[in-house]
Amino acid sequence: MIRMGMPPYLECSSKGYTRFSAFYAKPKSLNGRSIEEAYQAMKIFEDGSTGLNWRQAKGKRAVNISDCIRAYKKWWKEYVIENNLTDVLKEATGLSDMFGQIGHVCQATVLWEIRKELLGE
């Protein structure tokens, strides 16, 4: 579990506030794909494989992880703005992801970074 900020925590997963779940968030730039699907599909692995579905790629370390993280954050920023979620994000005292793991990209962490930017912190 990953927690950012202070309680009460807004759960950012498919088991909580689904508008902040990477499986439900679909920015227009992804043409109907979710952030999770696009993120996992863009990973490139040491053997050269890429374009895998989320189940095949999730949890595996990509050789292009920096590019993947930049894209992930960009997609979240787009999604938050497109769906008028900036106020929800700014008003949250804390964000959590019950499935988040340290060392892996996590929507709660990225959304917390975006929140801080919105608040000018």
How do residues 51-107 score in pLDDT, each as one tens digit? 888 888 888 889 999 999 999 999 999 999 999 999 999 999 999 999 999 888 999
Q: Who wins on pLDDT, 43 or 54? A: 43
Q: 89: number of CA atoms within 13 Å, CB side? A: 25
pLDDT at 55: 84
pLDDT by residue (tens digit) across 12-21?
A: 999 999 999 9
Helix (H), strand (E) at residue 88: helix 86-91
Backbone angles phi, psi at 38, to 5 degrees: -65, -40
pLDDT at 59: 82
What is the C-alpha to C-alpha distance for residues 63 and 98, in angstroms, rounded to an integer? Answer: 26
Q: pTM of the prediction?
A: 0.93
How many C-beta atoms surround the C-beta of residue 15 within 10 A?
11
